[in-house]
Structure 1
Amino acid sequence: MEHHHGNDEGGHSHAIKQVESESGRKIPVTILSGFLGSGKTTLLNHILNDTNHKMRFAVIENELGAVGVDEKILSENANEEIVEVMNGCVCCTVRGDLIVALKNLYKKIEQFDGVIIETTGFADPSPVAQTFFADEDIAEMYTLDGIITVVDSKYILERLDEVKPDGVINEAKEQVAFADRILVNKTDLVDAEHLPVIEERIRQINVAAEIFRCSQSQVDPKNLINIKAFDLDQAINYKPNFMANPKAKHDPAVSSVAFQFEGFLNINKLQVVIGQIIDKLGSDLYRYKGVLNVAGMEKPYVFQGVGMLFSGNFVGQWNPDEDRDCRFVFIGKGLDKKGITDAFLRCECDEELRFDIGDKVMAKTGAGENDWEKAEVIEHWDEGNPYRLKLEENDDEIWAPFDDNDCVKKMPRK
C-alpha cells in the first residue's frame, strides 16, 4: 500500500530525466550507421546538398585511421561545421571524445537544425545512442532524433550470416537491429526478386524500422531527418507504424518481440514488470518501445529504452477515433517472446472495480498478517491506482495499488 503523496507520472527506478538546456532548446541528433561501403557518406552528401530542406547541420565524422579521409570527399557546397573523431571507433574507444566534441559544439551550433554523426562501418550504434541518455549534460543540450542504417543490397545477407567468434558481435546485425530507418541501398546491383528476400530478413531482426529501397543513397531527407523516433512526446504519433510486421519470424541471434492486445494495464504492476525485464536482459536489449493503455489515465503511457537506460511517461493524447490498445516491441539477443508477452499480460486489469466510492473496506497497511485497517473508498483510479482510501482511525489517505484481496477486502460482518 502506498501513502498518498505527490509522484512523478511514470516514475520508475530505471527512469532517466532529460532536462532542458539553459536556452530551452535541444538540438536533434541523427546517427548514420551501416557497414563499410554501404553508402553512408554518399547519403550524408545527399542530405547536405539537398536544397529543398534549407536546414543547416553540424557533422561529426568518425574514422578508424589516424588520417581523416571523409572530410576530403564531403560536399564542399555545404556550409557546415565538421568535426572528426579519429583514432578509434566512436562507439567505444573514443566515446569520451564524442561527448567532449558535442559539449564544445553546442554554443557554436545552438541555432543549427541538427547534428549528424556518421559512424565508422565497424561501429555498434548502441553506445552512441546511450550517450544521449546517460550523460546529463548531453541530455540537456541534445535529443536523439533517430538512427539511420544503410545496407548494401549486394552483400547484406552475407554480412548478416557471417559467423563470429564467441563474444564478438556481428556489427551488421547490430546496425540493423538499432535502426529507426533502414535504407536498402544499391538496388541497381541486384535482381528485383532479391529485394523482398533482403527485406524479409531485415524484418526478422527489426520489425519496427521503416525500410526504403534506393540507389546511390537517394532518399528524401524528410524521411530521415526530424523523424522524432526517440522523442517520447512524438512517439504516440508513430504508433501505427512502429510495429509494421509483428508476425515476422525471428533470427536466432538477434530477434524482435512485438505484440499488440486490447485492454487496460495496471501501472504499478507494469513498472515492476518493465524493471524485471530490463534487469534480466540488460545489455542484450538493443532497442525497445511501447504505447500502453493504462487504467485510470487519459494519456497513453509511452516508453522506450536502450539497454539498461529506460524512459517512460504519460504523454500525448489518444486520438478520439482510435482503439486504446497496448503495443510494444523489443529488439535484442536471446529474447523470450512468450516470457515478455506473458509478463505484460499479467499487468492486465479491469477498469470496473469491485468497490464503489463510499464503501467501507479493510486496507492492507503493512507487511504483517494483521496489518489491516478500516478504510473508506473515496476515489477511483487516482493517478493510476485503483483506489484512494481514507483510514478510519486517523483520516490518513493512502492508495491501494491493486484491486485484489491481498490489498483491499470486504469489511467483515459484525
Structure 2
Amino acid sequence: MTFRPQTQKEYRREKIPVTVLTGYLGAGKTTLLNRILSEQHGKRYAVVVNEFGEIGIDNDLVVGADEEVFEMNNGCICCTVRGDLIRILSGLLKRRKGFDGIIIETTGLADPGPVAQTFFVDDDLQRHTRLDAVIAVVDAKHLPQQLETSPEAAEQVGFADVILLNKTDLVSSEELERLEHRIRGINIHTRILRTQQCQTPLEDVLDVGAFDFDRIMTLEPDFLDAHHHHHHHHEHDDAITSLSLETEHPVHGPRFDTWMSALLQVQGPDILRCKGILNVDGLNQRYVFQSVHMLAQGTTTQPWREGETRHSRLVFIGRNLDTEALREGFNDCILEPA
C-alpha cells in the first residue's frame, strides 16, 4: 500500500473534538451538561467536570461508576478532574475509542485559557484530539452586574467562541439588545445564541470548529463591518475589549512573526485571544494565525481564489489593549505599494 498524505477532512475526522465549557454557577452550565448527558442524540460524549460535588449531574442518569468515571444511560460518560487534566484525558483516550467528543467543564471562576492552551502544547493530545471551541453560558439577568464586579466574567465572555445568553425570559428585549451590544464590545467575533434553559441544538455548541484553521474566520459574519462598532460610544469602559485591524496590502511575513512573538511574550497574559487571516507577501495561500495568551500557532491554508480581494484581518481580544501601539505595530508589518 502506498503512503498517501491525509486530507484535511480525514485529519479532522480522526481527531476527537474537545469543547471547553465555562460560565458562572447558576448561569445554566449544569442544564446544558445534563442535556448532553441525557438526550438521545445517538452520539457518545465524555464530560470532564472539575469537581463532581459542585455540579448537579442528575444522579438518575448515572449507571455504573468507579471513583473517577461515571457512565450515563445514553452511553455518554462523565468523569471528574481533581488532578491533572492531561492525565485524565490520556486515560480517557486509552480507555475507549469512539467518542464523538469530549467536553471539559471549567469551574465557575476559572480562566479557560490554561485549559485551552493544554491542546496547543501536549503532543499526545494534539495527535488524538483537537480543540474545538470555548463555550460560555451566561445569565442574561445577572451578567451586567457580574461584568461590573468580576474580572472573570469579562474574561469568560472575551474567551468564548459561542455564548449562550441564557435565561432571556427574565429580561426585556431592550435590556437584551444593550447586553448583546456590550458583549460585542468585549468580544467582537463571538456567536451569541439567546436561550432559555440552554435550549439550542447541540450542533450549535459541539463541533463548531472555532480553532480549525480552515474555519477560523467563517464564524464571524460581522467581521468586515466590525470596525464600525468602534465608532459607538460604549457606555461601559470594560477592561476587556476587541480590536480589529485590516489591510488590503500584503504583509511582510518575517516582520509579522517578529512583532507578534515579542508582543505575546510581553503582553500575553493580557491578550486572551488573537486570530487572523493574512495575505503574506510571496505566499499564494492564506496564512492563518491564532493565539491563546502567549501560545501561538500559524499555518498556511487554502490558496486565495482567482480575482478575490486579499484582505488581511487580525483581531485581538484582551485586557487594557493599547490600540494605538497595536495598530502601529501592525502597520509596520504592511508592505506599502511601491
TM-score, L = length of structure 2? 0.85
Deviations 1:351-406 (A, max 9, x none): 76xxxxxxxxxxxxxxxxxxxxxxxxxxxxxxxxxxxxxxxxxxxxxxxxxxxxxx
Q: CA deviation at 1:77?
A: 4.0
Deviations 1:25-51 (A, max 9, x none): 321100111111101111123334444
Q: CA deviation at 1:320?
A: 4.2
Q: Give yes or no for the alignment of 1:156 onto 2:143.
A: yes
Q: Hey, what does 1:57 align to over in structure 2?
A: 45
Q: Which of 70, 75, 81 pairs up with 1:79? A: 75
Secondary structure of 2:229's counterpart equals coil
Secondary structure of 2:155's counterpart equals helix
Question: How many Å separate the matches in 2 of 1:23 and 1:255?
Answer: 32
Contact 1:61 1:70 in 2 (8 A): no
Question: How many Å separate the matches in 2 of 1:308 and 1:176?
Answer: 19
Contact 2:39 2:74 in 1 (8 A): no
Change (3 A) 1:270 1:72: same
Question: How many Å separate the matches in 2 of 1:318 and 1:107?
Answer: 40
Instruction: Please give the residue correspondences for 1:267-346 in structure 2 after superposition, counting only pairs within 5 Å.
Output: 267-320=253-306, 322-346=308-332
Contact 1:243 1:329 in 2 (8 A): no
Q: Hey, what does 1:4 align to over in structure 2?
A: none
Q: Which of 153, 163, 186 pairs up with 1:205? A: 186
Secondary structure of 1:245's counterpart equals helix
Change (3 A) 1:111 1:196: same
Q: Hey, what does 2:65 align to over in structure 1?
A: none
Q: CA deviation at 1:277?
A: 1.5
* One-letter code aligned to 2:252: N
Q: Hey, what does 1:38 align to over in structure 2?
A: 27
Q: Give yes or no for the alignment of 1:171 onto 2:157.
A: no
Question: How many Å separate the matches in 1 of 2:225 and 2:192?
Answer: 10
Question: How many Å separate the matches in 2 of 1:68 and 1:194?
Answer: 29
Identity rate, percent: 42
Q: CA deviation at 1:69?
A: 4.1
- Structure with the bigger percentage of helix: 2
Question: How many Å separate the matches in 1 of 2:131 and 2:39?
Answer: 22
Secondary structure of 2:209's counterpart equals coil
Q: Hey, what does 1:130 align to over in structure 2?
A: 117
Change (3 A) 1:316 1:50: farther
Change (3 A) 1:306 1:70: same
TM-score, L = length of structure 1? 0.70
Tell me whether 152-161 or 232-241 shows the greater mean CA deviation.
232-241
Question: How many Å separate the matches in 2 of 1:246 and 1:109?
Answer: 46
Long gaps (5+) in structure 1: 1-21, 87-93, 164-169, 353-414
Secondary structure of 2:315's counterpart equals strand
Question: How many Å separate the matches in 2 of 1:235 and 1:283?
Answer: 22
* One-letter code aligned to 2:33: L
Question: How many Å separate the matches in 1 of 2:122 and 2:85?
Answer: 11
Secondary structure of 1:59's counterpart equals strand
Question: How many Å separate the matches in 1 of 2:305 and 2:222?
Answer: 15
Q: Hey, what does 2:92 align to over in structure 1?
A: 105
* One-letter code aligned to 1:330: F
Change (3 A) 1:60 1:210: same
Instruction: Please give the residue correspondences for 1:362-401 in structure 2 after superposition, counting only pairs within 5 Å.
Output: none
Question: How many Å separate the matches in 2 of 1:236 and 1:119?
Answer: 25
Long gaps (5+) in structure 2: 1-10, 63-71
Secondary structure of 1:316's counterpart equals strand
Secondary structure of 1:233's counterpart equals coil
Change (3 A) 1:248 1:237: closer
Secondary structure of 2:210's counterpart equals coil
Secondary structure of 1:204's counterpart equals helix
Number of residue-to-residue matches in the alignment: 314
